[in-house]
A and B are shown apart, each in its own frame.
Chain A
Amino acid sequence: MTAMTDVAFLLLTFFMLTSNFTKKEPVKVDVPSSISEIKIPETNVMLVLVDNSGKVFFSVDGQESRKNVLKKMGETYSITFTEKELAEFGNMGTFGVPMNMMKAFLNMTPEDRDRSENALGIPCDSIDNQFKNWVSAARAEKGPDCIIAIRGDKGTPYPKIKKVMSSLQEITENRYNLITGLQKETDY
């Protein structure tokens, strides 16, 4: 009995220390595979999620930085957020809401937020490019070492990805990472 307990708690400690939790994402994204073996760092990352219909989602790590990014975005779009709303945003993972709905979105219950009709995506077209502003705000907050990672779905049509890429290009973010799954290099 004692031995089993020891092993059980050893395993528990191991899992507690090594775990990084699967973050909840508003959409399911099935990434393409590649032979690349570069690992993405866990901190200092801006994650851009693109689902197969081309909706764009965004997330920044760090609770404080998220709050500051939202504050900055609020200034750009002249929306003032209350302390409570900022705190809510700080606890949120990936989001995809246009700025005009952000206030309403933050006042929803977490269950309502997860509903699929609220996964709208961040506008990223030439008329209303909020995505660009989000990245700029996050870049100003996180400094030049922060990595941009794009997690696109396999089936996303190229024009949608191109919109994201050219938005990044416009704000001279020319280096970024594409997140892919693992694939063994077959014989060649």
Chain B
Amino acid sequence: MAEVAQDHGDDGKKGKPKKMSTHIDFTPMVDLGFLLITFFMLATTLIKPQTMEIALPSKDKVSEENQTKIKASRAITIILGKKDKVFYYEGMQENGIDPKINSTDYSPKGLRKYLISRNNEAVLKMRALRAENSLKKLPTAVFDKRRSEILSSKSCPIVVIKPTDGASYRNLVDVLDEMAICSIGSYAIVDITPYDLGLIKNLNN
């Protein structure tokens, strides 16, 4: 493709060097370049996937006296039902009286509103901390320490998440997300009990 243009002026004059001008056609190279760009643009993923970290307890049985006891008033049980329904109740059964169970959804006006109203103090503190962080750029260690202080405060509710078999993976992630949004530091995913299923059944009737 590269063509070498030569002048044919060979009149036999000696001592003068031959004039050679070289013109290389770059078009195919540019074509190839753009082809490769297109290929790489289509084949790459620029967005890295996000993750949420989760830690579950190990399966070792914890004996009765080693279990952490929490006040019933701090406990909130969230049951993930089928068809994107969520149920929640506070505390536990006391003196044979069932706790009041409520039904809601995963929208910001549903579960989130309730959780924020229950955890207002920590939410406000976290918001203040985040604002301070964006202004002053706190060191990560300081930020993490203060964050965990807020999250582990004694007034924070403790959330027990109980997914039923009808719940989907999305529901679980949504709830875990709400925990992060509502600054709830202590939560656990627990198997559903027949008692909880009974509560939902009673509510539906």
Q: Is A108 an interface residue (CB 8 A)?
A: no
A-B contact count (CB 8 A): 157
Known A-B contacts A5-B26, A9-B33; the reply to A177 vs B51 at CB < 8 A is yes
Which has the most chain B C-beta neighbours within 10 Å: A15, A50, A175?
A15
Contact between A35 and B177 (Cβ–Cβ < 8 Å)? Answer: yes
Contact between A169 and B56 (Cβ–Cβ < 8 Å)? Answer: yes
Contact between B59 and A170 (Cβ–Cβ < 8 Å)? Answer: yes
Cα of A39 to Cα of B47 in the assembled complex, Å: 10
Chain A residues closer than 8 Å to B173, beta-carbon distance: 32, 34, 152, 178, 180
Nearest residue (CB) in A for B171 is A158
Contact between B26 and A36 (Cβ–Cβ < 8 Å)? Answer: no
Chain B residues closer than 8 Å to A8, beta-carbon distance: 30, 33-34, 37
Cα of A128 to Cα of B182 in the assembled complex, Å: 40
B42 smallest CB distance to A (angstroms): 9
Q: How many of chain A's residues touch chain B, expressed as a range?
A: 35 or more
Contact between B168 and A154 (Cβ–Cβ < 8 Å)? Answer: yes
Cα of A179 to Cα of B48 in the assembled complex, Å: 10
Contact between A12 and B40 (Cβ–Cβ < 8 Å)? Answer: yes
Stretch with Cβ within 8 A of A (4 or more), from B5-13, B131-139, B159-167 = B159-167
Which has the most chain A C-beta neighbours within 10 Å: B26, B34, B47, B170?
B170
Q: Which of A19, A155, A177 contacts B168 (CB 8 A)?
A: A155
Chain B residues closer than 8 Å to A152, beta-carbon distance: 169, 173
Contact between A188 and B181 (Cβ–Cβ < 8 Å)? Answer: yes
The count of residues in chain B whose C-beta lies closer than 8 Å to any C-beta of chain A is 48
Known A-B contacts A8-B37, A188-B108; the reply to A156 vs B52 at CB < 8 A is no
Contact between B55 and A188 (Cβ–Cβ < 8 Å)? Answer: no
Q: Is A140 an interface residue (CB 8 A)?
A: no
Which has the most chain B C-beta neighbours within 10 Å: A156, A178, A187?
A178
Cα of A2 to Cα of B40 in the assembled complex, Å: 22
Chain A residues closer than 8 Å to B123, beta-carbon distance: 188
Contact between B37 and A40 (Cβ–Cβ < 8 Å)? Answer: no
Q: Is A31 an interface residue (CB 8 A)?
A: yes
Chain A residues closer than 8 Å to B50, beta-carbon distance: 34, 36-40, 179-182
Chain A residues closer than 8 Å to B151, beta-carbon distance: none
Pairs across A and B, CB under 8 Å, 12 listed: A12-B37, A20-B44, A20-B45, A22-B44, A34-B173, A40-B49, A155-B168, A158-B168, A176-B53, A180-B49, A181-B50, A188-B108
Apart from A12-B37, A154-B168, A156-B169: 18 A-B pairs, beta carbons within 8 A: A8-B30, A12-B33, A15-B37, A21-B45, A34-B174, A34-B177, A35-B180, A36-B51, A38-B50, A153-B169, A158-B167, A178-B52, A180-B51, A182-B50, A185-B181, A187-B108, A188-B116, A188-B123
Q: Interface on B for A, CB 8 Å cutoff?
A: 26, 29-30, 33-34, 36-37, 40-41, 43-59, 80, 108, 112, 116, 123, 163-174, 176-177, 180-182
